A = this chain, B = another copy of it.
Amino acid sequence: MRRILRNRIIFIAYFIVSTGSIIWLVSTCGPGCTTEHVGGDSMADYYKHELERTRANVRQTEKKIRTITQTLNKQYAKAADAVNEILGIESPQIPTIYAITPTYTRPVQKAELVRLTQTFLHVSNFHWIVVEDSERKTQLVSRFLTNSGLPYTHLNVKTTDEYKLKENEASWRKPRGVDQRNIGVDWILENVPQAEEGVVYFADDDNTYSLQIFDEMRTTQKVSVWPVGLVGGLRFERPLLNDAGKVSSWYTVWEPNRPFAMDMAGFAVSLKLFRQQPHARFDITSRRGYVESSLLVQLGIRKEDLEPLAEKCSKVLVWHTRTEKPKWKQEDKLITLGKPSDPRIEV
């Protein structure tokens, strides 16, 4: 009798434990565990599936963003910089182009700055150094630069009277912008950190620049050169290359024997070279047409070391345009009558 009772107790105990385990297992796992696979997904499968779908979505969006940044970097430089900032991407480490632009007050000044700005806004890693020929910075230029959307430095230095052009004096009689370009170089050498690479370009405010010339000059190791259109009384001037692809002479008719017979718009200098020759500047006492050479000679560059760009100097990517002095007859009449056009309206 005791054995039968003991067996029954064992059986009942086991029954309770096993049934309890089964019930517990079923409740712990929930419907997901006990349903058949053929009927539907478990919760884990559901989330796993959603996760895969969302990740595929993310990959697609990331691909779109990559295409966006590629397109922008290629075509819309300033926009690209803005987007890289939003995305927390560092702009590619390319040398900064420092464009030094001397400028002076005259009626067409603002218009020139407007169209220059609209060109420069397309150039990435660009820093504009605008140097006024004046004793004080003018409101017009200050306000203009603030609103330009470009990274800029605003400087000024007045050309000494001895070298200043008189009102109706032919523009070639005295070299213009020399002091202004020189303090632009001073600023760069004093302010750009040693670790940063750059290219210096002397960009006068009435020339016309294609976007390609900025791409080209970015590679400058010492001094790079290229053709300039509508200059020197010719359709274009340009360096001539020998069979080794080095500059051997200059295609120019006017004073072809200059050490560097080219226009200000036709070359760029690496910041590295300026740092090696930190005292090299333009010489204001230079003879007509020799201002460019005065700098390049001091930089210690030889013709053979020049880097010819623009498809072996066969493409014109910058033009030496000049803007007409506007007709002022009616304005002069009004001025003599003491009633000039409303001076509060900036032109």
**Contact: B4 with A229, CB < 8 Å?**
no
Q: How many Å from the CB of A238 to the closest CB on chain B? A: 8
Known contacts A29-B29, A235-B340, A254-B330: does B51 contact A67 (CB below 8 Å)? no
Instruction: Compute how far the CA of A32 lies from the CA of B44 in the bound complex, rounded to whole angstroms.
Output: 10
Q: Check A192 for interface membership: any CB of B closer than 8 A.
A: no
Q: Which A residues between 226 and 254 are near B, CB-CB below 8 angstroms?
A: 227, 229-236, 238, 251, 253-254
Mask, A21-35, CB within 8 Å of B = 1, is: 110011011001110
What's the minimum C-beta distance from A40 to chain B, rounded to whole angstroms? Answer: 14
A333 in complex: contacting residue of B83, B108, B115, B253, CB < 8 Å: B253
Cβ proximity bits A60-86 to B, threshold 8 Å, 1 near / 0 not? 011011011001100110111011001
Question: Cβ of A72: which chain B residues have Cβ within 8 Å of it?
Answer: 79, 82-83
Q: Which one, A10-18, A280-288, A292-300, is touching chain B?
A: A10-18
Which among B28, B29, B68, B319 is the interface contact of A110 at CB below 8 angstroms? Answer: B319
Is the CB of A58 closer than 8 A to any CB of chain B?
yes
What are 17 of the A-B contact pairs (CB < 8 Å)? A7-B11, A18-B22, A25-B33, A29-B29, A33-B33, A43-B44, A64-B86, A67-B86, A68-B86, A110-B229, A115-B115, A118-B118, A234-B328, A234-B341, A236-B347, A253-B334, A320-B326
Which residue of B has the minimal Cβ distance to A108?
Answer: B321
- Where chain A touches its partner, the secondary structure class is helix
Size class of A's contact patch? Answer: 35 or more
List A residues 188-245 near B (Cβ within 8 Å): 208-211, 227, 229-236, 238
A324 contacts partner chain B, Cβ-Cβ < 8 Å: yes
- A14's partner among B15, B61, B227 (CB-CB below 8 A) is B15
- Cβ-based interface call for A303 (8 A): no
CB of A331 within 8 A of chain B? yes
Does the CB pair A28–B22 fall under 8 Å? no
A159: interface (CB < 8 Å): no
